[in-house]
Amino acid sequence: MKREDIRLMGTAEIADRLGVTPARVHQITDSVKREFPRPIATLRMGQVWLRDDVEAWIAANRPELAEDVEGS
């Protein structure tokens, strides 16, 4: 994978994507039973996830918000 192919999301981006607050994102990502993907890193600003992992979770758990794969 090339460096420019790596797309990341933090709490704010996930909140925007799901239409929820950052506090709700923390609840979702901390919940074991929701099986949210593990972050790939924890930085001073918080955790970061691979965008593809987050989008796969959205497709499986919030299909009404799933991106149109052919259109993206």
* Structural domain boundaries in the chain: 3-65
Q: Give me the sheet containing 46-50, strands edge to edge.
A: 8-9, 46-50, 41-43
Higher pLDDT, 72 or 51: 51
Residue pLDDT, tens place only, 27-69 = 999 976 778 999 999 999 999 999 999 999 999 999 999 986 5
Query: With contact defined as beta carbons under 8 Å apart, do 24 and 16 qualify?
Result: no
Q: What is the CATH number of domain 3-65?
A: 1.10.1660.10
**What's the whole-model pTM score?**
0.83
